């Protein structure tokens, strides 16, 4: 046990970092869209081409400036300081990310995203490379599994590769520590006021199975081809999942902010920074970390890792990095992380869905409380999501009833967007088509491949701006 004074310091630091920022009443939305890069020659993505395209993007968009430069002198991130848009590479140069600065409406974000995406895709296609809206890179087997040579991404990959060092943990690990280099998500950040925080997490957690039905788009080609959202397993069975509280769903319902704070205290920590350099160490709970006078870790220096002892400091909570489906951030936002990258023509469905439901928590809770299609059948929300990311619906669930339940949730999101009076409900239209056809992008990939459709055609179709 740690002493009461230190425990109070941990609780206060957790509150300051995660809870206090939500005291401000704001109403912005931010979006991060990760997109795989494809070499249509069925060879590894040419990083030399990636760097050429980056330079062209920087020259074309006058307001962007260099933000991140790797150890080789190559640019991996550029930022527009006027609107906070960032175009960067995520984990490796096989993945590009469009992190759109916060705005009050989706149309503004969508217009800028389409402008950036169109230019970048056109530049890549000059070299027979392209971009596509798929949650797992369909040509991943051809690519180089090399992290961006930067402080953060070297640290992250080093942590994920360390799974073989964990001998006495009650889980198994998959063999894909480089999954961050070939998996892509569509993430949404919403401002949530402190008084709504607990209810937002509780209620949105219960519709994760519905989101699996609507948005799954991560088919792991050549393996596990019956799973429409394999991204879930890639996170769960990695070193991030050693403490299940760090990933996936919340399997408890919070009564108040104290409950939420206690959950955050239960997380594991696996890295800190000293003098601008990351230090990795075996993942451990915050309590275990702060009990120790020194923790033995590894630091990257001159191309190799060296052992180093680090003294725990209360500010190390800055480096607490959970990857929940619903994350709290230091910006006072709630980040929704469970959705795969969507076909590009449907990109805004993700943000529209979450934004529309943001102020419909009571109505959404009532739908779930009264449901007997998937709930009240002996399964938790987590178990239901695992079942509903399969290409076949379990036999105890009536498919037509499931579609009606899903439509009820999307209708509620539509109502929420209509009340905003901007017209953003138009972005939900593709979801109604998916409900009507009993499908989602992942199922469509599986069915198309089964019917002999060429993978390259799917890649090109999912990369189009308009269907």
Q: Two tokens at 260?
A: 């939420």
pLDDT tens digit sequence for 417-458: 999 999 999 999 999 999 999 999 999 999 999 999 999 999
DSSP at 15: I
For residue 1, pLDDT over 70 is answered with no
pLDDT tens digit sequence for 238-294: 999 999 999 999 989 999 999 999 999 999 999 999 999 999 999 999 999 999 999
Report pLDDT for 208.
Answer: 98
Report pLDDT for 17.
Answer: 93
Q: Tell me the pLDDT band of 3, cut-offs 50, 70 and 90.
A: confident
Q: Tell me the pLDDT band of 301, cut-offs 50, 70 and 90.
A: confident
For residue 100, pLDDT over 80 is answered with yes
Q: Two tokens at 76?
A: 């991996």
What's the CA gap between 426 and 416, in Å, rounded?
Answer: 12
Domains delineated in the chain: 4-267+322-462 (3.30.590.20)
List the one residue out of 448, 440, 389, 377 whose CA is nearest residue 410: 440
Question: Which own/partner contact pairs does 64-70 have at CB distance under 8 Å and 24+ positions apart?
Answer: 68/150, 70/148, 70/149, 70/150
Where in 200-338 does DSSP place strands (E)?
247-248, 268-274, 277-285, 295-301, 304-310, 323-324, 326-328, 333-336
Q: Tell me the pLDDT band of 467, cut-offs 50, 70 and 90.
A: low
Q: Two tokens at 28?
A: 């912005």
Using a pLDDT cut of 90, give the percent of the chain over it: 93
Mean pLDDT to the nearest integer, 355-378: 96
pLDDT tens digit sequence for 200-253: 999 999 999 999 999 999 999 978 779 999 999 999 999 999 999 999 999 899
Sign of the C-alpha dihedral computed for residues 355, 360, 365 and 367 taken in this order = negative
Query: Is 343 within 8 Å of 467 (Cβ atoms)?
Result: yes
10 Å Cβ neighbour count for 452? 6
pLDDT tens digit sequence for 17-75: 999 999 888 899 999 999 999 999 999 999 999 999 999 999 999 999 999 999 999 99
Query: Is 442 within 8 Å of 229 (Cβ atoms)?
Result: yes
Report pLDDT for 33.
Answer: 98
Q: Rg for the chain (alpha carbons), in Å?
A: 22
Report pLDDT for 124.
Answer: 98
Q: Considering the chain, what is the average pLDDT of its residues?
A: 96
Using a pLDDT cut of 70, give the percent of the chain over it: 100
What's the CA gap between 63 and 59, in Å, rounded?
Answer: 9
For residue 168, pLDDT over 90 is answered with no
């Amino acid at each position: 046990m740690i002493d009461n004074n230190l425990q109070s310091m941990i609780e206060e630091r957790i509150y300051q970092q995660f809870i206090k920022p939500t005291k401000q009443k704001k109403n912005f939305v931010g979006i991060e869209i990760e997109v795989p890069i494809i070499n249509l020659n069925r060879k590894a993505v040419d990083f030399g081409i990636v760097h050429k395209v980056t330079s062209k993007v920087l020259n074309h968009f006058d307001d962007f400036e260099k933000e991140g430069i790797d150890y080789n002198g190559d640019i991996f991130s550029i930022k527009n300081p006027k609107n906070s848009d960032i175009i960067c590479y995520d984990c490796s140069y096989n993945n590009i990310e469009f992190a759109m600065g916060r705005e009050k409406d989706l149309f503004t974000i969508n217009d800028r995203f389409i402008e950036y995406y169109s230019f970048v895709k056109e530049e890549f296609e000059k070299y027979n490379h392209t971009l596509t809206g798929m949650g797992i890179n369909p040509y991943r087997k051809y690519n180089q599994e090399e992290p961006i040579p930067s402080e953060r991404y070297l640290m992250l990959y080093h942590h994920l590769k360390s799974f073989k060092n964990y001998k006495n943990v009650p889980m198994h690990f998959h063999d894909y520590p480089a999954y961050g280099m070939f998996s892509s998500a569509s993430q949404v950040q919403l401002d949530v006021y402190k008084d709504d925080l607990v209810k937002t997490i509780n209620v949105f957690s219960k519709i994760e199975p519905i989101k699996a039905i609507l948005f799954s788009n991560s088919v792991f080609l050549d393996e596990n081809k019956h799973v429409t959202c394999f991204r879930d397993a890639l996170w769960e069975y990695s070193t991030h999942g050693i403490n299940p509280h760090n990933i996936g769903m919340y399997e408890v319902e919070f009564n108040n902010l104290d409950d939420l704070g206690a959950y955050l205290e239960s997380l594991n920590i696996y890295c800190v920074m000293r003098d601008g350099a990351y230090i990795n160490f075996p993942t451990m709970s915050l309590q275990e970390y702060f009990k120790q006078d020194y923790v033995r870790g590894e630091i990257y220096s001159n191309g190799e890792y060296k052992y180093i002892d680090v003294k725990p400091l209360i500010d190390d909570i800055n480096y607490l990095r959970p990857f929940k489906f619903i994350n709290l951030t230091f910006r006072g936002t709630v980040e929704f992380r469970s959705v795969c990258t969507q076909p590009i023509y449907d990109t805004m469905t993700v943000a529209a869905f979450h934004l529309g439901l943001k102020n419909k928590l009571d109505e959404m809770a009532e739908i779930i409380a009264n449901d007997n299609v998937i709930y009240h059948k002996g399964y938790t929300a987590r178990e239901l999501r695992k079942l509903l990311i399969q290409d076949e619906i379990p036999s105890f669930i009536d498919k037509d009833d499931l579609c009606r339940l899903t439509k009820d949730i999307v209708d509620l999101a539509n109502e929420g967007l209509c009340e905003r009076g901007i017209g953003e409900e138009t972005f939900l239209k593709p979801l109604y088509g998916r409900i009507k056809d009993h499908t989602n992008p992942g199922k469509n990939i599986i069915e198309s491949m089964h019917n002999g459709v060429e993978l390259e055609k799917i890649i090109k179709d999912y990369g189009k701006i308009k269907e």
